[in-house]
Structure 1
Amino acid sequence: MASFTLQGIPVSRGIAIGRAHVLHPAALDVEHFLVAQEQVEAEVLRLQEAIAQVNRDLQTLWSELPQDAPTELGAFIDVHALILADPMISEAPLDIIRTRHYNAEWALATQVEELSAQFDEIEDEYLRERKADIQQVAERILKVLTGTVHQVVRSEGIDERTANMIVVARDISPADMMQLRDDAFTGFVTDEGGQNSHTAIVSRSLGIPAVVGMGNASHLIAQDDWLIIDSDAGVVIVAPDNAVLEQYRDKQAKLARQKKKLARLRKTPAVTQDGVEITLLANIELPEDTAHALDAGASGVGLFRSEFLFMERSGQEHRLPTEEEQFEAYRQAVQGMKGRPVTIRTLDVGADKPLDSSDHNILNPAMGLRAIRYCLSEPQLFMTQLRAILRASAFGKVKILIPMLAHYHEIEQTLAMLEQAKAELTAEGMKFDPQVPVGAMIEVPAAALSLPMFVRKLDFLSVGTNDLIQYTLAIDRADHEVAHLYDDLHPAIIQLMHSIISTAVKADIPVSICGGMAGDIRLTRLLIAMGFRELSMPAALMPEIKQAILNTQLDLLQPHLKKILRSFDPQSIRETLTAMEQAGVVMH
């Protein structure tokens, strides 16, 4: 096929080269992972046995039909038995397992999605409706598969097949992205999403090249097409010729060498040329991410997104994690950081991070019941989490971060519930740090404009730039149609950021940045020139940011900062930022 190029929004760094694995929406409703070559036939057998079981179930249903049952019931069972025996169900998914190494559930869902699309094209209404029968038969098989006691062990090795997979989808939810993190996917391409959608944030935290907001890429790209993702440029090249492939393989190898070189800075403190130390912290989603944080040289965890512990359980009968389960996860993270501080953000759900699909049933979830609003409306859930975090504080340095605070009564209620949790644990003889610091995420303009209210009540502040920009500019960051308007260099954002750090410095209260701006190397010198001394980011971005800090002379940046703060012309701000980048660099 002829090569063509698609343009989207770059959301992470690097180059990925591999074959397309197109995920249709239905394929995301089941667990999906790759099986190793030696496990393929065992996975084929799993599906064959599930189909055989469903066939036996149908035969039992038919034989047990009462004498006075409507004849349509028997016919209905016969139709399902015929569908089950058809090669499109009984054989095609087996071929998908053997050729693509998909697990049984994923292979079946993929085949059914393709069949459903074919049925949608049929003009005859009766035949078109038979799509529902196929889906019902597939659901029966999936129920048997998911109820099977034997579970195939996921492949931990990476062979030629699994080393070059690129996921192409309409969209991938944060929970689905977390599910994919364990597999050998080297890149992500989605039709929807923006620079700071949560899918983008998670891809950056995994250090995987990704391009989002591509419109209809999932329809233009075919299964197994060769792809190149240039996530610096926001470009996806489909079916590249050999010359282009070799050119990008050379770029990929060069980036790998640079990454290896930067890794040597792991134990080097992030200190500017004129002796100002900047604390670099890691953003994590799950307790096991602490290993990556330490490998990158993080001084601690600046943001533990606890909601992923809840999302991981989506679809389970009792999906809300218990206090004990949460405690174990927080304790694991705290101990994993070996004495370094861990900032745990309380549950931040709503908007583009629903706990389940029913959470979407409101007009504008970004403005609705989310984050601290949700927690205060569910006091039992919130109390369970507060108790678990407090208990984990007995095992190391823990800080509690409250998202989306905007009102005085929210601060009061939160602190009152925390005191109640402490009293309960004390009565039960449980150990915890009674002086555990409590901080506010500054991500609502109302909070940024009323900081004195926060600094009197709380111990530290953390600026969540993603939502702060979203709310200040009235742009839904998950909506790809307005994603181009999201601008971290908008004059209003710069003024707000400068106001926050100025107020915090005067009040002598620690303030960090844990949003996307902290990990954007274009903005590193601007932020530290403003006065920010703590930056929290995905561990994968830390070495490059550290190198920029090590090569910076802070006092050379001040004239450019003053010019940026006086300007309300976006183009002028960008030009001055470029001049600032060049002025502050001192190579050693």
Structure 2
Amino acid sequence: MASFTLHGIPVSRGISIGRAHLLTPAALDVKHYLVPEEQVEAEVKRLQDAIAEVHRGLQALWTELPKDAPTELGAFIDVHALILSDPMISEAPLDIIRTRHYNAEWALVTQIDELSAQFDEIEDEYLRERKHDIQQVAERVLKVLMGTALNVPPVYSGEDQVAPQMIVVAHDISPADMLAFRDRDGGPQSFIGFVTDVGGQNSHTAIVARSLDIPAVVGMSQASRLVEQDDWVIIDGDAGVVICNPSQQVLEQYRARQAALVKARKRLLKLKKTPAVTKDGTPITLLANIELPDDCPAALEAGANGVGLFRSEFLFMGRSASGLGNALRVPGEDEQFEQYRKAVVAMKGRPVTIRTLDVGADKPLDPTEHTALNPALGLRAIRYCLAEPQLFLTQLRAILRASAFGKVRILIPMLAHAFEIDQTLSMIEQAKLQLREEGIKYDPGVEVGAMIEIPAAALALPMFVKRMHFLSIGTNDLIQYTLAIDRVDYEVAHLYNPLHPAVLGLIASTIATGQKAGLDVAVCGEMAGDTKLTRLLLGMGLREFSMHPAQLLSVKQEILNSDLATITSRTRRILRSIEPNEIATAVEQLQSL
């Protein structure tokens, strides 16, 4: 069999070598036919029964979650259960059966296609990925209707396999199905990686892959059509490459790399309790980015000094009031407070930085609402919160109440104007006043910080320094806005470059200005967790890194091996350069110092 290579989006690092197991989407086999009038209600009941069975299956998965299962899996099962209960899934297809006389499978696929088209119009990467959750739920219902269960293969008995070393290749795969593969007699090694045609950095597939620490590549487009059952497959999760039917020489090369990675990871584990200090004795603060309170144990396990970014919008996701196309059922103050308090208590006295709601035109709470012409520049983040003062005030009260249980900091996204800062601070004071009048405890000394993710903010830092207690650089958006590049648009994504001299200049000046004013400055974007850029950021003067917990020990290792005096002088030369090739070469050379 001929060898070939596919390229996709790397979402979970590492190397896996195994046999391909293909999952065929049930939707591809759906039959389309019209149901006679007298059989319509029977067809309606068939779909209702299938939905009920999937509900029972999800409940069983939840109750039988293994103790070592990542907390994300339980949360995603909950999301799928909520989607399944939504009238847009549980009722709208029934109406299609009754009005158009479609068979149950056809009716469900018709409704899902319509919903998917709505989500395709959403420009925000995270929310657009939620389309796949809806499709995954529908897939489970279709499998029940068609009498096909998840095809988990028996242990491979080929002469070159002693234990099941399976790489799942699919158009898409749900977290619940991932658990079905993992929770077998073969244990966690039942599957060792997966490849999907769709998905992105923020898809649930990607999030669970990182939490399981299993190599994965998504967004490969044609993988499920080109790879055949039982093909030998290599996943290079660092490069986003999948090699099918590799030659013996390539196979041996990757096995050697894989063995080296295993040894390196074992060495990293010994660093958990080692303080993050450079060779010359400079302490560095390593913080964790989290989405939910249940992520806190992983942050502590990795040795995080605290939470540098709690993305509070995850508490608002998947909560429509009466349909996926209707307004969001916003969590109330008590519900938000309980989640924030849970995270604060879990971190055992370490600081928890909670970013206020980062939604808006690019993350519409109602997917059917009119999308702004250029949503990345529209009513989003703090602009949205100030336009919805009651929603904002409710969140601020909940965060302040949680501050009574440990150190909490409030982080405001997408600030660009002095009046936005002043209005935000005024809202915080209003929330404090209300709590005082009601006799509710909070920490009056809660610090408030600004996300620096708009070039205008980076270029006008004095007005931030004057008003805020700390700064956090959101490199993902800062790069996007500086270069006018939509990083999720495949036609221009190759132009998204964190080493562009303009980007480096903005980051370096923000760090320098903030620190000169005595403010803590952190980087909480993807650059913070990229070990190839750790020394560059250290050379710029960065002393706080916030990243996914899985990246923390690798970054710590880079810090322990870094000599600040040498790195700083080299970094100054890099910042004076304007030639991309020179910058890239110099940054690479930093790694060998």
TM bin (shorter chain): 0.7 to 0.9
Structure 1 distance, partners of 2:329, 2:220, is 33
AA partner of residue 311 (structure 2): R
Moved more, 571-580 or 183-192: 183-192
- Write out per-residue CA displacement over residues 208-262 of structure 1, whole angstroms, 9 at most, x where no aligned residue: 4333443443554568876432111221134668886676566445423321221
Where in structure 1 are there 5+ consecutive unaligned residues?
28-72, 110-128, 147-158, 584-588
> Take 1:407 and 1:177, find their aligned partners in 2: how far apart are those partners?
41
Select the residue among 239, 248, 272 that pairs with 1:233: 239
**SS of match in other structure, 2:36:** helix
- Please give the secondary structure, in 1, of the residue aligned with 2:591: helix
Structure 1 residues 76-124: Cα deviation after superposition (integer angstroms, max 9, x where no partner): 34367579889xx99xx9xx99xxx9x9x99xx9xxxxxxxxxxxxxxx
Equivalent of 2:526 in 516, 531, 547:
516
User: For the residues of structure 2 that align with 1:519 and 1:198, how far apart are their CA atoms?
Assistant: 19
Partner of 2:39: 78
Contact kept? 1:192, 1:479, Cα under 8 Å: no
Give the distance between the partners of 2:336 and 2:177, measured in 1 at CA: 19
Match of 1:447 in 2: 457
Residue 442 (structure 2) aligns with? 432
State which of 494, 497, 509 in structure 1 corresponds to 2:504.
494
- Tell me the secondary structure at the aligned position of residue 499 of structure 2: coil
Contact 1:442 1:468 in 2 (8 A): yes
Give the distance between the partners of 1:432 and 1:460, measured in 2 at CA: 20
Whichever residue aligns with residue 76 of structure 1, its letter is: E
SS in 1 for 2:335: helix
**Residue among 340, 346, 350 paired with 1:340:** 350
CA separation of 1:489 and 1:357: change in aligned 2, threshold 3 A: same
The answer on whether the counterparts of 1:195 and 1:477 sit within 8 Å (CA) in structure 2 is no
Partner of 2:128: none
RMSD: 4.2
Identity rate, percent: 59
CA distance in 1, matches of 2:303, 2:591: 24
Alignment of 1:535-574 (within 5 A): 535-574=545-584
Structure 1 counterpart SS, 2:480: helix
CA distance in 1, matches of 2:177, 2:387: 29
Offset, 1:319 = 3.4
Alpha-carbon spacing, 1:461–1:277, altered in 2? closer, same or farther (3 Å): same
Report the CA distance between 1:563 and its aligned residue: 1.6
Bigger CA radius of gyration: 1
Indicate which of 474, 479, 487 corresponds to 1:477. Answer: 487
Report the counterpart of residue 384 of structure 1 in structure 2. 394
The 8 Å contact of residues 405 and 447 in structure 1, kept in 2 or not, is answered as yes
Alignment of 1:40-189 (within 5 A): 75-78=36-39, 81=42, 134-136=105-107, 164=166, 166=168, 168-169=170-171, 184=182, 187=193, 189=195
Q: Number of aligned residue pairs: give it.
A: 490
Deviation at 1:361, TM superposition (A): 2.9
CA–CA distance in 2 between the matches of 1:487 and 1:201?
Answer: 23
Aligned to 2:306: 300
Cα distance between partner residues in 2 of 1:413 and 1:222: 58
Shift of the 427–390 alpha-carbon distance from structure 1 to 2, 3 Å rule, reads same
Decide whether aligned partners of structure 1 residues 196 and 469 sit closer, same or farther in structure 2, where only a CA change above 3 A counts.
farther
- 2:310 counterpart letter in structure 1: F
Q: Cα distance 1:132–1:223, how it changes in 2: closer, same or farther (>3 A)?
A: farther
Alignment of structure 1 residues 274-293 onto 2, 5 Å: 274-293=280-299
Residues 252-292 of structure 1 deviation map (CA, whole Å, 9 limit, x = unaligned): 45423321221111111111111111111011111111101
Q: Secondary structure at the match of 1:582?
A: coil
The TM-score, its normalising length taken from structure 2, stands at: 0.72
Give secondary structure in 1 for the equivalent of 2:416: coil
8 Å CA contact 1:83–1:137 kept in 2: the answer is no
In structure 2, distance between residues paired with 1:2 and 1:493: 43
Give secondary structure in 1 for the equivalent of 2:502.
Answer: helix
Cα gap change, 1:198 to 1:467, in 2 (>3 Å): farther
Distance 1:494 1:168 in 2: 39
Q: 1:222 to 1:433 in 2, by over 3 A?
A: farther
Deviations 1:117-146 (A, max 9, x none): xxxxxxxxxxxx986763337899x99x99
Q: Give me the whole-angstrom Cα distance separating, in 2, the residues matched to 1:21 and 1:360.
A: 39
SS at match of 2:281: coil
Q: Give the direction of change, closer, same or farther, for the CA distance of 1:137–1:477 in structure 2 (3 Å limit).
A: closer
Cα distance in 1 for partners of 2:2, 2:44 equals 37
**Aligned pair 1:271/2:271, yes or no?**
no
Q: Is contact 1:22–1:223 with CA below 8 Å preserved after alignment?
A: no
Matched residue type, 2:460: S
CA distance in 2, matches of 1:525, 1:336: 31
TM-score scaled to structure 1, two decimals? 0.72
How far did 1:420 drift? 1.1
Q: 1:358 to 1:227 in 2, by over 3 A?
A: farther
Inter-partner Cα distance in structure 2 for 1:451 and 1:4: 50
* Pairing partner for 1:461 from 446, 461, 471: 471
> Is the contact between residue 205 and residue 283 of structure 1 (CA under 8 Å) also seen in structure 2?
no
Question: What is the deviation of 1:342?
Answer: 0.5
1:314-356, Cα deviation, whole Å (9 max, x unpaired): 5777732121111111111111111100001111124765545
**Inter-CA distance 484–357: structure 2 relative to 1 (3 Å threshold):** same
Please say if residues 473 and 523 of structure 2, whose CA atoms lie closer than 8 Å, have aligned partners that are also in contact. Answer: yes
CA distance in 1, matches of 2:364, 2:194: 21
Q: Which amino acid aligns with 2:577?
A: S
Indicate if the aligned counterparts of 2:12 and 2:237 stay in contact, CA closer than 8 A.
yes
Quick one: structure 1 residues 364 and 137, their matched pair in 2 at CA, closer, same or farther if it must change by over 3 Å?
closer
1:296-335 mapped onto 2 (5 Å cutoff): 296-313=302-319, 319-335=329-345
Secondary structure (helix, strand or coil) at the match of 1:410 reads helix
CA displacement at 1:476 relative to structure 2: 0.8
Q: Which amino acid aligns with 1:387?
A: R
Contact 1:198 1:352 in 2 (8 A): no
1:535, distance to aligned residue in structure 2 (A): 0.4
What amino acid is the match of 2:315? Answer: L
Deviates further, 361-370 or 408-417:
361-370
In structure 2, C-alpha distance between the alignment counterparts of 1:548 and 1:294, rounded to whole Å: 19
CA contact (8 A) 1:194 1:479 kept: no
The answer as to whether partners of 1:350 and 1:359 remain within 8 angstroms in 2 is no
> Do residues 10 (structure 1) and 14 (structure 2) align?
no
